Amino acid sequence: MIEIAPLRATERADWEVLWEAYQRFYAVTLPAEVTSTTWDRLFSGRVHGLGARGADGRLVGFTHFLYHEDTWSQSPACYLQDLYVAPEMRSGGLGRKLVEAVAAAAHAAGANAPYWLTHESNTVARRLYDRLAKNHGFLQYVFEA
């Protein structure tokens, strides 16, 4: 049985293990200060974090999301920024449950349905996302002056 609920302040060590694995997946290394700031933001009310816990109560996945103003709607937008599931827990519907939990939170907050980005090479996640959501064809650009 999987429980999905807000991250708990007592779960930082378990979250950091997953957070570092998430960074390795995307071949990035974030400074320790960024990790600390991210963790603090998850409890500030500005960024929201949900944890997925296995039958033993151990954290096996997470998602981070935030709300922001939207120029195309009167409702806030919901951006699902990060989603990670431990490799041994994949293919069991946990990613879907995390996305659905963010969608439920967005609905409860009066926000639009969540949107997110993933790398084009993330084929496993994209199979899930293609079943769950509609790709509107937008491409991401980053100005790096």
Tell whether the torsion through CA atoms of 41, 46, 49 and 50 is positive or negative.
positive
Tell me, yes or no, whether 138 lies in a domain: no
Tell me, yes or no, whether 67 lies in a domain: yes
Domain range spanning residue 59? 3-132
Dump strand ranges (E) for 7-107: 47-53, 59-68, 77-85
Tell me, yes or no, whether 144 lies in a domain: no
Tell me, yes or no, whether 8 lies in a domain: yes
Please count the structural domains in the chain. Answer: 1
Question: Residue 29's pLDDT band (boundaries 50, 70, 90)?
Answer: very high
The yes-or-no verdict on residue 39 having pLDDT over 90 is: yes
Kindly report the number of other CB atoms within 10 A of residue 22's CB atom.
Answer: 18
Q: Is the separation of the CB atoms in 109 and 93 below 8 Å?
A: no
The yes-or-no verdict on residue 141 having pLDDT over 90 is: no
CATH number at residue 47: 3.40.630.30
Alpha-carbon span 31 to 10, nearest angstrom:
22
Q: What is the mean pLDDT of residues 80-92?
A: 93
Rounded to a whole number, what is the distance in angstroms from the first to the last CA of the chain? 48
Kindly report the number of other CB atoms within 10 A of residue 96's CB atom.
Answer: 14
Output the pTM of the full model: 0.93
Question: Residue 5's pLDDT band (boundaries 50, 70, 90)?
Answer: very high
Q: Among 69, 19, 76, which Cα is nearest to 42's?
A: 19
Question: Residue 82's pLDDT band (boundaries 50, 70, 90)?
Answer: very high
pLDDT score for 143: 86
pLDDT score for 62: 98
Tell me, yes or no, whether 77 lies in a domain: yes
Q: What percent of the chain is predicted at pLDDT more than 90?
A: 86
Tell me, yes or no, whether 107 lies in a domain: yes
CA 49 to the chain's CA centroid: 7
